[in-house]
Amino acid sequence: MKIAWLFGLLLLTMSILVSFSNQSEIVVYFLDLPDGEATLVQGTNQQYTLINTGSKASGIYLIKLLETLEVDTINHLIITDEDQRYRANKDLIINNFDVRQIIDINETSHYQRTQLTLSKEPASIHLGDGLTFHVLAVSNQPRASTNVLTYNNQAILFMGRTSITEKDLTNLDKYDFQIVKTAHFGETFLPDRNILTKINPDAAIFFTSAQNEANNELLYYLEEHWIEPYFLEDIGSLIAIFKDSDYDIEVQFHTKNVKHHINFD
């Protein structure tokens, strides 16, 4: 199992390095980990943002992937949920990389000089030229958040275990939502289906969880509205490459070891 994963990692790395060589592009890499959620974003000038760190079982895989990609500095480490499948490797990342700023949904006194608390104040975090992370909603029970990553006129909705309304998206009406990251491994239909209808994305991302299965009602909705579901457990890591007003999706299939390229123009 580990050998197969590392072989897939090598193939992925080759395609990712080619993609990353163009500095005018923004690359969002949805990481296929054994358990948990983590997303790597490369902005301009080799600035990296890591959103979540996966579960404890995924620590070695996450470190190996980042090292293979020659990531030395993480400009922003963002933790969006209190569940361990989002945050278990936070200290591991901090101890192995030069992390410049930490933005965590949980308050802590361990990293006072570098850590901010993820909240709606401030509601937007500047990550680089044209690249912004917006906090839409934060819940206390459970402690979780829903967020949006925007680049120029394009956006990715990172759904979390919160409720959000159409009003929450009012300030983001100018953006074209291409991708939605499903809430909490797709186990529930969050947020309200009217939100998905409003933003009308092309693709929905499902991270891998050893504890949860995707909600059937959500899957039916995606099928009915021609939103392509991507289960990282089945297809491998997914790379979204944004440039100007267009974007591409690249997928690495585990079993076939063949890269499938989909172009949404």
DSSP 8-state symbol, 36: B
For 239, the domain range is: 2-264
Question: Which of 124, 88, 127 has its CA nearest to residue 106?
Answer: 88
Confidence (pLDDT) at 58: 96
Mean pLDDT, range 162-186, rounded to an integer: 91
Total tally of structural domains belonging to the chain: 1
For residues 212-224, average pLDDT: 93
The residue among 198 and 8 whose pLDDT is bigger is: 198
User: Distance between CA 89 and CA 85 in Å, rounded?
Assistant: 9
**Of 9-18, 177-186, 192-201, 243-252, minimum mean pLDDT range:** 9-18
Q: Distance (Å, rounded) from C-alpha 140 to C-alpha 242? A: 33
For the segment 49-72, the average pLDDT, to the nearest whole number, is: 94
Distance CA(178)–CA(199), nearest Å, equals: 8
Q: Is the pLDDT of residue 264 over 80?
A: no
Give the torsion sign (CA, 38, 118, 192, 226).
Answer: negative
What is the value of pTM for the model shown? 0.88
Q: CA 23 → CA 20, 41, 90, 187, distances in Å?
A: 7, 13, 28, 36
* Structure confidence at residue 49 (pLDDT): 97
What CATH code is carried by the domain that includes residue 10? Answer: 3.60.15.10
Dump strand ranges (E) for the chain: 26-30, 39-42, 48-51, 73-74, 76-79, 98-99, 102-104, 115-117, 124-128, 131-140, 143-151, 154-158, 176-181, 203-206, 228-231, 238-243, 246-252, 259-264
C-alpha to C-alpha distance for 36 and 200, rounded to whole angstroms: 26
Q: Which residue has the tokens 């983590």?
A: 38
Q: How many CB atoms lie within 10 A of CB 32?
A: 26
